[in-house]
Amino acid sequence: MPAPASEERNYLFRSKKPIVQKDGSTSEKHHWWICKQCHAAHDNSGGKIAAPSLVRDRADAYRSHLKRCPFHRGEALVVSAIEEPRSTISSAQSIPSFGSSSSSTAKQQKRMSDFFLSVEVQRSFERDLLEFQSECALPVYFIEKPSTKRLFARMPQYGLPSRKEIGGRMLKTNAETAEQASNANLRECQEETGGRVNFLCDVWQNVARLHLLACHLFLFGVLVQFELLSCDSNHHGIAIAKQMEEAIARALALGWIVRAAITDDAGQCARARRILALRWPNIVFLRCFAHDVNNLVKAVLKTVFKTVTKQAATVTATLNSSSSKWLVRQ
C-alpha cells in the first residue's frame, strides 16, 4: 500500500517531466514537482526571477524546499509565529529592573541564554513531552503530524525532537529516571512501614506474539515494574520456576524483602509455585484470586446476562413496532 500524501504536497504541482533513473529508465509514476509559489512569482516577474527548481516526489524533499522557499507564505507565517514570542521575550528581558538605570541595561551585551535554552531545560521539556505522550496513550508518530508541528512552532525556543529521538534516546533516559523514582518510593515505603514486598508474576503475550514473564514488586499501593523476561517457547512449569527463582534472587540481592509470590492459576504457574514452595520455605506462594473472580463473573453473566438482555431487547422491539393504542395511557 503506498504511503499517504503529505500535507506539504498541496503547495506543489506535478510537472510533465519524468524523473530519469540511474539506468536511464523513466516511469509515469515518478515525475518532478514544482512549487506553486515559485512558479507564480516567476510568471508575474516576466522572467526576471529564475525559473522554479524541480523537487523530487518525496515528503522530505517537499519540506526541504518549502523551508528554503522565500515565496512560501505558510513558512513565513510559521517563522513569524516563532520570532514574535522570541522578540517579546528579548524585549521583556531588556526592561530595566527597579532601581537600575536604563543606560546600563541598553549597553548590556546579549548572551546565548537570552535566545536559546540550556541543556537542562531542554531535557526537562523532553521528559514532560514523553510523559504527555504516555498519559494520553499517543503513538510515537504523533510527533510527525503537521498539527503537532504547527502547535510547537508557536512555542518559542523549545526544540521539537524527532520520532527516532522519542523512541530512542528520550525513552531510554527518562525510563531510567522513572525507574529510579519508583524504586525510591517503594524502598521508602518498605523502610517506614516495615512491610514485606509482594512479588507478582504473570506470563502474557505482546503484539509481536512473544511470550514474556512480567515481574512486579508491590507494597501498600506502590507498584514497581521489576523485570520483563523473555520466555521464548519455554513457558512450561519448570522454565517459569527457574526464571521466577532467578528474579526473586536478584530482588533479594537488591535489598527487597520478599515474603509473598503471587502468580496466575494456570497449570504451568501452579506447577512453578509447587516447585518454588519447597525451595523457598520462608516465602508464601499464592495464586491470584482476581482470575477466579473474573471466571466466576464470566460464568454467571454468560447465562443470566444473556437471557436478561435478550428479553429486554425483545420487549423494546415489540414496543417500538406496536401502535400507541396498545399502550396504557396515563
In angstroms, the CA 270 to CA 285 distance is 9
Which domains, and CATH codes, for the chain?
Answer: 12-22+29-67 (no CATH), 183-297 (3.30.420.10)
Contacts of 5 (CB under 8 A, 6+ apart): none
Fill in the amino acid letter for 312.
A
> What's the pLDDT at 97?
40
Tell me which residue of 132, 130, 119 sits closest to 158, measured CA to CA.
Answer: 119
Lowest mean pLDDT, pick from 3-17, 54-68, 231-245: 3-17
User: How much of the chain, in percent, has pLDDT values that exceed 70?
Assistant: 77
What band does 39 get if pLDDT is binned at 50, 70 and 90? confident
The CB-side HSE value for 294 (13 A sphere, CA atoms) comes to: 6
* Residue 31 in this model has a pLDDT that exceeds 60: yes
Beta bridge partners of 204: 212
> What's the pLDDT at 309?
81
> What's the pLDDT at 85?
44
In angstroms, the CA 124 to CA 316 distance is 56
In angstroms, the CA 133 to CA 165 distance is 13
> What's the pLDDT at 98?
39
- Threshold 0.85, pTM exceeds: no
What band does 92 get if pLDDT is binned at 50, 70 and 90? very low
What band does 71 get if pLDDT is binned at 50, 70 and 90? confident
Strands (E), the chain: 12-18, 31-35, 54-55, 197-205, 211-219, 222-230, 258-263, 284-287
Lowest mean pLDDT, pick from 79-93, 105-119, 228-242: 79-93
Beta bridge partners of 200: 216, 262
How does strand 197-205 pair with strand 258-263? parallel
- Provide the angle, in degrees to the nearest 10, between the axes of the packed helices 237-253 and 267-279: 50
How does strand 31-35 pair with strand 197-205? unpaired
> What's the pLDDT at 94?
43
- Residue-wise pLDDT for 97-142, tens only, equals 434 444 444 556 665 555 556 677 777 777 777 877 777 777 777 7
Instruction: Give me the DSSP letters along 224-293.
Output: EEEEEEE-TT--SHHHHHHHHHHHHHHHHHTT--EEEEEE--SHHHHHHHHHHHHH-TTSEEEE-HHHHH
> Cβ(189)–Cβ(220) under 8 Å?
yes
* Residue 66 in this model has a pLDDT that exceeds 70: yes
- Residue-wise pLDDT for 159-179, tens only, equals 667 777 777 777 777 777 777
Mean pLDDT of 250-272: 77
Mean pLDDT of 58-76: 71
